[in-house]
Amino acid sequence: MTDVVHTPRVFSGIQPSGGLTLGNYLGAMKRFVQLQDAGDMPTIFCMVDLHAITVWQEPARLRHATRELCAGFIAAGIDPEKSILFNQSQVPEHAQLAWIFNCVARMGWMGRMTQWKDKAGKNSENASLGLFAYPALMAADIMIYHATHVPVGEDQKQHLELARDIAIKFNNDYDVSFFPVVEPLIEGAATRVMSLRDGSKKMSKSDPSDMSRINLTDDADAIARKIRKAKTDPAPLPDSVEGLADRPEARNLVNIYAALADTTAEAVIADHAGQQFGTFKPSLADLAVAKLDPISREMARLMQDVDQIDRILGRGAERAREIAAPILAQTYDIVGMVRAQGA
Ligand code: AQP
């Protein structure tokens, strides 16, 4: 029995499958920065490019999106000295551990993942094997650092439960307590930011409609236009949060406001009760521009020196491998792989 004391460590990733959205920022990245700045736990953040290719990515676009995502992390407040910041494909231990986890996870578990069902749709015969196995790679991303805390948006809850199941099954199968059972951190006013065109759909980088999302690269005019055109209902804002229950688009805009202003939906309603959207939307647009425009400008500045971004990613990958390599070696020992003498 190999007993390991798991020191608290934060890991999370974002796919370079398009530009960063307001959903990624409010649901994930803003929280990453808070955790980094709190300084209670080491923080590791990854551009999960191996995940991105589970659906087709044009190579030049993927390379650009990975660098731009790195610029987004830094512009939002991730300090590559304080946190480890890198892209997944430069740390081969992720894919190596994922293979072990592919052999631990059960087909039935994977088939129940709603993201698989949504993304594969009716044409699952034609979906990639990687898309089906995605949650095992995600479990490996976390476990290769023995991470204990994983900040994510609401949509990743089911995948994290699966990561816990994989860790528990591995530990049981090999009679060890080697992999930690992770804690999801799903917190804040905007753990599920919805599309600006349809309050029942998550805001997503891969939504065909650009008007459905705010991109972190959007300029002030684009942000204001998208908020002005966001779908709403004709009623004014209610005087309590309960009054938003059956109004998904109105609720979404209130939650976005609350998250951007670092307050609660209750406080937003208290300040804006009875307002028509013709009044509320311009206030929201001003707030969004004030918060997002500096990030967008800083991203553009950082993207002027991609060599520097590549150096940051390379250095981050070296630091990540210092943690990942020994954990993979121990995993191989537990599983029964033969190693070269002295390796
Ligand atoms: N709309 C959202 N609201 C709150 N959080 C969100 N996240 C994504 N969309 C929202 C959180 O952002 C982190 C990174 O997500 P990801 O890029 O790895 O994958 P995703 O969840 O599949 O995001 P997208 O934008 O929908 O990407 P595509 O379109 O490529 O599938 C995660 O913590 C996620 O919860």
Give how far Cα 250 sits from Cα of 188, 193, 303, Å: 18, 12, 35
Q: Is 338 left (phi over 0), alpha (psi -120 to 50) or beta?
A: beta
Portions of the chain given CATH number 1.10.240.10? 210-301
Whole-number Å distance between alpha carbons of 132 and 182: 22
Half-sphere exposure of 160 (CA within 13 A, CB side): 21
pTM of the model: 0.94
Give the CATH number of domain 2-191+305-335.
3.40.50.620
- DSSP character for 112? T
Which amino acid is located at 295 in the chain? Answer: I
* Predicted confidence (pLDDT) per residue in 53-85, tens digit: 999 999 999 999 999 999 999 999 999 999 999
Does pLDDT of 2 surpass 60? Answer: no
Strands of the 43-47 sheet, one edge to the other? 84-87, 43-47, 10-14, 149-151, 183-185
Q: Which segments within 158-202 are labelled E, that is strand?
A: 183-185
Residues with CB under 6 A from ligand 1: 14-15, 17-18, 21, 23-24, 27-28, 152-153, 155-156, 191-193, 202-206
Among protein residues, the one with the nearest Cα to ligand 1's atom 25 is 204
Among protein residues, the one with the nearest Cα to ligand 1's atom 34 is 153
Tokens 């009679």 belong to: 175
Whole-number Å distance between alpha carbons of 144 and 140: 6
Query: In the chain, what percentage of residues exceed pLDDT 90?
Result: 92
Portions of the chain given CATH number 3.40.50.620? 2-191+305-335
Interval between CA 25 and ligand 1 midpoint (Å):
9
- DSSP character for 145? T
The pLDDT score that the predictor gives to residue 4 is 59
Query: What are the phi and psi torsion angles at 313 (to 5°)?
Result: -65, -40
Q: Does 332 or 206 have the greater pLDDT score?
A: 332
Residues with catalytic roles: 119, 202, 205
Interval between CA 153 and ligand 1 midpoint (Å):
7
Among the four given CATH numbers 3.90.550.10, 1.10.240.10, 2.170.190.11, 3.40.50.11740, the one describing domain 210-301: 1.10.240.10
* Predicted confidence (pLDDT) per residue in 203-217, tens digit: 999 899 999 999 999
